[in-house]
Structure 1
Amino acid sequence: MDVLENTLWVLLAISSLLLIGLVLIHRGRGGGITDMFGGGLASGIQSSAVGERNLTRITWGVAIFWALVVVLLGLISRFG
């Protein structure tokens, strides 16, 4: 059970950092972090509506994965 819990903690840390990065890459609605640094990486990804849509889907996928890991860690700490 310790191995599973440690693995989930590592996955939580990685998915948290990935989720933060993905949210910061999104197109700002006026003056966001990406605009402050001149677009950078986001300008190539967001050049089309398809790129923005795919970025949104990836962000939602990572967010759902993050929430699932949090729930699993909660269940392990409660019943484990």
Structure 2
Amino acid sequence: MNPLLIILLILLIVSGLGLIVFILLHSGKGTGVSDMVASAVYSSQTGTSIVEKNLDRITIALAIIFMLALVALMFVYPQGTISR
């Protein structure tokens, strides 16, 4: 296997697993769409805590890494070009 393929696959797997973990760590905001709308209208707490902001930043960074690794794999190895 090509070292570039190994690096891209490791990035894809690690960022995908990280995304799963960090998305599951987010706290639930409500039980449905009505709770989401009601909390946006009647919320007295406008800001989020520092922990939630950091959790959001890490999740966004992992999503960007995941997408970049996926696009890089798509361009470097088009369909059917990876040989065993």
1:11 aligns with 2:17: no
Shift of 1:5: 0.8
Deviations 1:27-56 (A, max 9, x none): 11236xxxxxxxxxxxxxxxx711101110
Runs of 5+ unmatched residues, structure 1: 32-47
Rounded to whole Å, the distance in 2 between the matches of 1:6 and 1:12 is 10
User: Where has structure 1 moved over 6 Å in runs of 4 or more?
Assistant: none
Aligned length: 64
SS in 2 for 1:69: helix
SS in 1 for 2:30: coil
Bigger fraction of residues in helix: 1
Cα RMSD for the two superposed structures = 2.1
Structure possessing the higher relative contact order (Cα contacts under 8 Å, 6 or more residues apart): 2
For normalisation by structure 2, the TM-score amounts to: 0.67
1:77 aligns with 2:50: no
Letter of the structure 2 residue corresponding to residue 28 of structure 1: G
Q: For the pair shown, which has the larger CA radius of gyration, 1 or 2?
A: 2
Runs of 5+ unmatched residues, structure 2: 32-47
